[in-house]
Chains A and B, each alone.
Chain A
């Protein structure tokens, strides 16, 4: 074959090889790339870090579950399949409210409550002006903004 054909084939081969290598590496590293676990992950008890290691829990703040007890706030995190109670002491991010997505870093205590050391708000991919959001709320009767 001509040299040009050789170059083309070698490129295809190399790019293919790197693609496969990368795919395999990413699959092997899945646990480390996953930025947070959901309540369902914890319920199903798969691939969890050991009991005393901190990890990140992600999900929605369940409506009506937020309550303040002095400096500590407690709420329930849900992924619409399973729920987990969370307790957090500290400043909450600006976007933190009921129905909002959050990512909490901390440990699961023996009573099954997740004690969070830090709290991040996760916002969804919907962008709209306030008037539109208000109109949607009136139409749907609840906050449409599920992350």
Chain B
């Protein structure tokens, strides 16, 4: 696994993954949007309003998945001092923040016609808002010090400490009475008997796949930028200090 720390191997591997992810992102997003917006049926209760789900839910899944991946990278950075992990956190954080913002905004747009309100301070919505602030904090802390390694350590610690929020988000609808409805898919009682019909589940999964591939493309591009950025930084230091 640490063999991929070797920059040359990383470059070769990332090129292949980038190409594949780009192709699949286009396929999944294209097919997913067609299914979501045109081919899938309306909901028995919400009719066409349900189509926001096909953006809102995959964005929510990605926002949590990206944060979890950043937590793994943070562990790798702190325990094994793996610099690439630090770059990954810098690369992934803005993308995660964007997905979280999409989740919050589409959720709000969905809530107004269905629930009758743009926002409530229930456990689910509040904890996702906190996740958004955590992402912003990680981005800010990553630029806080002149020494980039020190900044990276600081934001890695913030990622780790904030990761307690992930189980809170996930279980908020089960532990407390909330306005946001419980899980249709991923709670234990639901896995065998999902509350969502296959005609709607398939577009949802395709969109999630598309979002995931989109994230991989953006993350690799940003990661390459971070590596180059660090190289420039080192070159600058060398010219200054001879």
Contacts and interface: CB of A to CB of B under 8 A. Distances in A.
Interface string A17-43: 011001000100010011111100000
B44 A58 contact: no
Given A93-B115, A95-B46, A125 B79 contact: no
Interface string B120-149: 111100000000000000000000000000
Nearest to A132: B197
Nearest to A93: B116
Interface stretch (A3-11, A65-73, A109-117): A3-11
A123 B114 contact: yes
A120 interface: yes
Interface in B23-64: 41-47, 50, 53
A18 B179 CA distance: 27
Contacts of A4: 79-80
B9 to A, nearest CB: 23
B113 interface: yes
A121 B53 CA distance: 17
Nearest to B125: A35
Interface string B168-202: 10000000111101111000001000011101100
Contacts of B50: 127
B161 A121 contact: no
B78 interface: yes
Q: Is the interface of B mostly helix, strand, loop or mixed?
A: loop
B109 interface: no
Nearest to B126: A33
Q: In which size bucket is the chain A interface?
A: 35 or more
Interface of A: 4, 7-8, 11, 14-15, 18-19, 22, 26, 30, 33-38, 58, 93-95, 103, 118-134, 145, 147
Given A126-B195, A127-B200, A130-B44, 17 more contacts: A11-B78, A11-B79, A34-B176, A93-B116, A95-B115, A118-B116, A121-B115, A122-B181, A123-B45, A123-B114, A126-B196, A127-B50, A127-B197, A128-B43, A128-B44, A128-B197, A145-B45
28 contacts: A7-B79, A14-B161, A33-B123, A35-B176, A36-B177, A93-B116, A94-B116, A95-B45, A95-B46, A119-B116, A121-B114, A122-B115, A122-B179, A122-B181, A123-B46, A123-B115, A124-B195, A125-B183, A127-B197, A127-B200, A128-B44, A128-B196, A129-B43, A129-B199, A129-B200, A130-B42, A132-B44, A132-B197
